[in-house]
Structure 1
């Protein structure tokens, strides 16, 4: 819901990651809040941008390929966050930066991890 709200104002976050989601309290009814808009950019509804921003492991393939992108890059990052919450690891996270980039662009998700078998 927070991401939809941000996008409704024409803001693309460009650095969605677990570290940029904070809870309002440590209680059961805590509300998640998106923080750190340092790389955010305002764009029009049909506009795209091309600056290479984001955090490896969460960044969308089109950014790594230096292609124009828009709000969809935040949705990719959100998907990486959900994947990590469900199985305890990012979908494309390797010891090598080059391997992480390659797998993000060309790889397929691995649903054979222990977190998916439970």
Structure 2
């Protein structure tokens, strides 16, 4: 799933109060998902990668960012429930940062059974 946060750009030194940081939103989402890990099955996995961090200028409030999450579980119902919880974390991050979030499913559902190294 890709999550794109949109906010409002501003000069980070002269007028940061005018901006709404999409980069802050993505970081808040990362914190939220990391706390979610404690409350999911030990066989489930969540991975992420920053696809667009908003640019290279450090003195700008970033207006748009994108993060990609991969959610895996042994059971389809657990996968769908966990993916929904990740979406809810994204919505919470948008609320906290004053941004908007749009999620797009970029992959599909595959029947992949994990093979833990201790079972080989």
Q: Looking at both structures, which has the greater relative contact order when contacts are Cα pairs under 8 Å and sequence separation is at least 6?
A: 2
TM-score by length of 2: 0.21
Which has a greater percent of strand?
Answer: 2
Larger radius of gyration: 2
TM-score by length of 1: 0.21
